[in-house]
Structure 1
Amino acid sequence: MTAPTPDSLPPASVLGERLLDWYRRNARTLPWRAPFGERTDPYRVWLSEVMLQQTTVPAVIPYFQAFLARWPTVTDLAAAPLDEVLTAWAGLGYYARARNLHKCAQTIATWRDGTFPATEDELHTLPGIGTYTAAAIAAIAFGQPAVVMDGNIERVMARLFAETEPLPQGKKALYARAAQLTPTAHPGEHAQALMDLGATLCTPRKPACGLCPWRDPCLGRRLGLAETLPAKAPKKLKPTRCGIAFWVTRPDGTVLLRRRPESGLLGGMIEVPSTPWREDPWTLAEARAEAPLPAEWVPLAGRVRHTFTHFHLDLDVVAGRVGARANARGLWVPFDQFDRHALPAVMLKVVRLALARTH
Structure 2
Amino acid sequence: MESTRHRLIELLANSQSSYISGQELSKKLNISRTAVWKHMKELEKDGYKIEAFPKKGYQITQFPDKLSSNTLLWGLHTNWLGKNIIHKTKLNSTQILGNQLAAEGEGHGTVIIADEQTNGRGRMERSWYSARDKGIWMSIILRPGLLPNQAPQLTLLTATVLADVLSQKNISVTIKWPNDILINGKKAAGILTEMQAEQDQIKYVVLGIGLNLNQLQSEFPDSIKDKATSLRVETNKEWDRKELIHGILEHFDTVYDEYMESGFENIRLKWVSYGYKIGEAVDIVTPKENWSATLVGIESDGALIVRNQDGSTEVLYSAEIKW
| Shorter-chain TM-score above 0.5 | no
Greater share of helix? 1
Greater share of strand? 2
Q: Is the radius of gyration larger for structure 1 or structure 2? A: 1
TM-score, normalised to structure 1, is 0.26
